[in-house]
């Protein structure tokens, strides 16, 4: 369960799991949802437009249907996934509480070994563990062994809502471009999709702290390839009346 974003100081305070690290994870998920919305929206709209770009009513109906279906699917998928994670966290809390009740010495030994593995000296480890066990032993065990904060468990409904909103946000831009584009609706939708992919790729790179060029390039090229495949296949079917 530990995500590698925390550092435990000798005074027992933990940095990262429930604060900035958690917020960055939510932001990253929102960016990925928006990116999915851009790709899905552009692909669906271009696919329908490839068969008959003049039938804006059919294109919009397909677009709105794709938006609703995609947002619901994203929300449901995120809800199920995060609820599974929360179930795991709650099960770990039950297990560690039982260990503390039945064998507190074993729990203390686990904490001692955990801090020794982090490089603390035996003397410092004894002081840290004694203070943690006297303050909140369950919280100390959960943090040290699993990276779980009892008071900051994941929220499935929050994750579902964030996923649906971010997907919808990404989808709306190509939808608006297709509706307002007139005779240039197809190239305009491609351009808007490309800009959206560039922005989500850049934001994702900033959040992760990685180099910008390659992640952005991968995002844009991959998204444009998906649009091109959808458009090409749909146009083939439309032209040949399949």
Q: pLDDT tens across 66-112, in order?
A: 999 999 999 998 888 888 878 887 887 887 788 777 777 877 777 77
14, β-bridge pairs: 8
Q: Which domain holds residue 160?
A: 15-85+156-239
Cα(168)–Cα(164) distance, rounded to whole angstroms? 6
What separation in angstroms does the CA of 109 have from each of 45, 117, 130?
Answer: 60, 12, 11
Cα(180)–Cα(37) distance, rounded to whole angstroms? 18
pLDDT at 68: 96
More confident residue, 193 or 17: 193
Would you say residue 53 lies in a domain? yes
Count CB atoms within 10 A of the CB of residue 167: 28
Cα(60)–Cα(236) distance, rounded to whole angstroms? 21
Would you say residue 215 lies in a domain? yes
Q: Read off the pTM.
A: 0.72
Which helix (H) or strand (E) is 14 found in, with range? Answer: strand 14-15
Would you say residue 128 lies in a domain? no
Cα dihedral: 111, 112, 116, 118 (round 10): 20
Number of domains in the chain: 1
Would you say residue 6 lies in a domain? no
Q: How buried is residue 197: exposed, middle or buried, by Cβ count under 10 Å (0-12/13-18/19+)? A: buried
């Amino acid at each position: 369960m530990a995500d590698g974003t925390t550092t435990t100081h000798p005074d027992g305070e933990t940095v990262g799991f429930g604060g900035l690290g958690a917020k960055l994870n939510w932001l990253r998920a929102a960016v990925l949802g928006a990116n999915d919305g851009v790709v899905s929206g552009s692909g669906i709209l271009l696919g329908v437009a490839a068969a008959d770009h003049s039938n804006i009513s059919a294109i919009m109906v397909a677009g709105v249907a794709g938006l609703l279906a995609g947002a619901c699917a994203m929300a449901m998928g995120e809800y199920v996934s995060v609820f599974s994670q929360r179930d795991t966290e709650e099960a770990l809390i039950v297990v560690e509480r039982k260990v503390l009740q039945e064998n507190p010495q074993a729990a203390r030994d686990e904490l001692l070994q955990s801090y020794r593995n982090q490089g603390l000296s035996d003397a410092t480890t004894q002081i840290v563990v004694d203070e943690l066990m006297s303050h909140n032993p369950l919280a100390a065990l959960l943090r040290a062994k699993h990276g779980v904060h009892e008071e900051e468990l994941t929220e499935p409904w929050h994750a579902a809502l964030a996923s649906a909103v971010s997907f919808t946000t990404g989808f709306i831009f190509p939808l608006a471009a297709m509706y307002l584009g007139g005779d240039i609706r197809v190239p305009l939708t491609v351009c808007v999709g490309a800009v959206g992919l560039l922005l989500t790729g850049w934001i994702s790179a900033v959040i992760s702290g990685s180099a910008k060029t390659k992640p952005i390039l991968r995002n844009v090229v991959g998204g444009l390839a998906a649009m091109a495949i959808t458009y090409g296949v749909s146009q083939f079917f439309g032209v040949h009346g399949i």
